[in-house]
Amino acid sequence: MSSANAAHSVVEPSTASKRVAATLVILYAMITLVPLAWIFLTSIKSPPDSISYPPKLVFTPSLEGYCNLFTTRSRQTPEYIAALPPAEGVCDAVSRERNMVIVGPSNFLPRFANSLIIAFGSTFLAVLLGTLAAYGFSRFRVPLADDLLFFILSTRMMPPIAVAIPIYLMYRQLGLSDTAIGMMLLYTAVNVSLAVWLLKGFIDEIPREYEEAAMIDGYTRLQAFRKVVLPQATTGIAATAIFCLIFAWNEYAFAALLTSGSAQTAPPFIPTIIGEGGQDWPAVAAGTTIFLVPILVFTVLLRKQLLRGITFGAVRK
């Protein structure tokens, strides 16, 4: 082998090919970020700017969208507004320019809170049940294990629209319709199948010898599971949790059909903002922007585990 060849070893890519790869990745990232950037830009436009054609890339930023998202307002005559005491805060001032006065908070915060409670609650339950079930399938001789696993997966095969009506009727009988508990149970049921399948793969990769060693070392099976299996399954658990959370957080169809009032989540709520005062795209965009934050934070916090988890345990030797 000549020294020129040695510089281009199989394991270490050359600087040039690294640059090409990096450029491609950055280009791809930019393309996928365009819609997100557009949503954010719209959220800081004024309503007229948001619907102007051709779209404005240079504009005066406005907090009107965020103000409208968090408040309900009523239209008043200019004379009435002129007679009011000086505006308190930005939102007050912005509203008055449109001949509106703020009459109270909007439903966005309670809906957002519903989303948080239902999505994180169902993710926790799905991962908890999924981990235990996956461990059982992985370690014990379960009768008809393959059929059961297929059955678990098949619960995910029906589109939500197809099962929404039976579930709606069931939930009405059980008093679960439009309740946070009902939505949490529903999302848990849908996500458990994903969690069992993903986690079984991860737990299969953990050699049994670890638990056997722990059991000989004086631990019960449950203690060995907690002390030895769980710490090694964290990667898989984190990855599974993110997948479950993304589903529960973004879910629209069930939420739109099964919730209307107190348990409504943010996805069906956000589009309704547009009706409260013309074409209020900035408020919708502001709601969407805020809606993206929790999933972003959660994913960034768990990104190390997620990246390793995406390889489905392949990094273990």
Partner 1 sequence: MADVTLKGVTKIFGDKRAVDSLDLSIADGEFVVLLGPTGAGKTTTLRLIAGLEKPDAGSISIAGRDMAGLSPAGRDVAFVFQQYSLYPHLTVYENLAFPLRSPARRMDGATVDARVRQVARMVRIDHKLENRATRLSGGEMQRVAIGRALVRRPAIYLMDEPLSSLDAKLRGELRLELKRIQKELGSTLLYVTHDQIEAMTMADRIGILAEGRLAQIGTPKEIYTNPANLHVAARLGQPHINLLPPELLPGAPVPAGTRTIGARTEHLEIARSGAGNAEVDWIEHLGDQNHLHIRVGGHKLITLADADLPVSPGERISLTLKNPLYFGQDGRRLAG
Chain contacts with partner 1 (rule: CB under 8 A): 207, 209-210, 212-220, 223, 227-228, 231-232
Q: Which is nearer to partner 1, 202 or 254 (CB)?
A: 202
Q: Which is nearer to partner 1, 122 or 138 (CB)?
A: 138
Backbone angles phi, psi at 211, to 5 degrees: -70, -40
Residues with Cβ within 8 Å of 33's Cβ and at least 6 positions away in sequence, in order, are: none
CB of 145: closest distance to partner 1 in angstroms? 17
Q: Which is nearer to partner 1, 107 or 232 (CB)?
A: 232
CB of 146: closest distance to partner 1 in angstroms? 19
End-to-end CA distance of the chain: 30
Q: Which two tokens stand for residue 272?
A: 């309704």
CB of 217: closest distance to partner 1 in angstroms? 4
Backbone angles phi, psi at 74, to 5 degrees: -130, 145
- How far apart are alpha carbons 314 and 317 in whole angstroms? 7
Q: Which is nearer to partner 1, 55 or 207 (CB)?
A: 207
Distance (Å) of CA 199 to CA 121, 123, 155, 243: 19, 14, 17, 12
Q: Which is nearer to partner 1, 97 or 217 (CB)?
A: 217
CB of 203: closest distance to partner 1 in angstroms? 15
What are the start-end ranges of the E strands in the chain? Answer: 71-75, 100-105
Residues with Cβ within 8 Å of 70's Cβ and at least 6 positions away in sequence, in order, are: 91, 105, 106, 108, 109
CB of 230: closest distance to partner 1 in angstroms? 10
